[in-house]
Amino acid sequence: MMRQYDLVERVKRYNPAADEALLNKAYVYGMMKHGSQTRASGDPYFSHPLEVAAILTDLRLDDASVAVALLHDTIEDTDATRDEIDALFGEEIGGLVESLTKLKKLDFVFKKTQQAENFRRLLLAVSDDVRVLLIKLADRLHNMRTLGAMPDAKRFRIAEETMEIYAPLAGRIGMQGMREELEDLSFRYLNPDAYNKITQRLAMLAEQNKDLTPKIEQALMEKLQSADIKALVKGRQKKPYSIFLKMQRKGVSFEQLSDIFGFRVIVAKEDDCYRALGIVHRTWSSVPGRFKDYISTPKQNDYRSIHTTVVGPGRQRVELQIRTEEMHKVCEYGIAAHALYKDGALTRESGAFTWLRETVDRLNDPNLNPEEFLENTKLELFHDQVFCFTPKGKIIALPRGATPIDFGYAVHTDVGNTCVGAKINGRIMPLMTELANGDEVEIIRSKAQIPPPAWEHIAVTGKARAAIRRATREAVRKQFGGLGRQILERAFERAERPLSDSILAQAAPRLGHNAIADLIAAVGRGELSSEAVLKAAYPDYQDERAASSPKPTAGEGWFGLDRGRTMKFRVPGEAEAQEHSIPIRGISGDLPVQFAPEGGAVPGDRIVGILTPGEGITVYPIQSPELKEFDDQPERWLDVRWDIDPDDPVRFPACIALTSLNEPGSLAQIAQVIADNDGNIDNIKMMRKGGDFHEIRIDLEVWDLKHLNRIIQQLRQKPIISSVLRVNG
The Cα–Cα gap between 585 and 602 comes to 10
What is residue 459's DSSP assignment? Answer: -
Tell me the one-letter amino acid at 67. Answer: A
Helix (H, G, I), strand (E, B) or coil at 17: coil
Helix (H, G, I), strand (E, B) or coil at 658: strand
Full DSSP string of 323-368:
EEHHHHHHHHHGGGGG--EETTEE----HHHHHHHHHHHHTT-TT-
Instruction: Pick the catalytic residue from 19, 20, 43, 77.
Output: 77
The Cα–Cα gap between 44 and 31 comes to 10
Does residue 76 carry a catalytic annotation? yes
Q: Using H for helix, E for strand and C for coil, what is the string for 155-176? A: HHHHHHHHHHHHHHHHHHCCCH
The Cα–Cα gap between 347 and 349 comes to 7
The Cα–Cα gap between 490 and 530 comes to 9
Cα–Cα nearest to 46, from 5, 2, 104, 102: 2
Phi, psi (degrees; rounded to nearest 5) at 685: -130, 125
8 A C-beta contact, residue 726 and residue 654: yes
8 A C-beta contact, residue 6 and residue 114: no
Cα–Cα nearest to 231, from 279, 183, 171: 279
Phi, psi (degrees; rounded to nearest 5) at 552: -75, 160
Does residue 77 carry a catalytic annotation? yes
Helix (H, G, I), strand (E, B) or coil at 495: coil
The Cα–Cα gap between 22 and 8 comes to 10
The full length of the chain comes to: 729
Strands 285-286 and 292-293: unpaired
Instruction: Pick the catalytic residue from 76, 270, 615, 626.
Output: 76
Phi, psi (degrees; rounded to nearest 5) at 232: -115, 125
Centre a 10 Å sphere on the Cβ of residue 260 and count the other Cβ atoms it contains: 19
Which CA distances in Å does 23 have to 11, 220, 308, 341, 466? 9, 44, 44, 18, 45
| Cα 387–chain centre separation | 19
Full DSSP string of 524-564:
HTTSS-HHHHHHHH-TT----HHHHSPPPPGGGTEEEETTT
| Cα 532–chain centre separation | 40
The Cα–Cα gap between 637 and 608 comes to 7
Full DSSP string of 664-680:
TTHHHHHHHHHHHTT-E
The Cα–Cα gap between 680 and 715 comes to 15
Tell me the one-letter amino acid at 456. Answer: E
Active site residues: 76-77
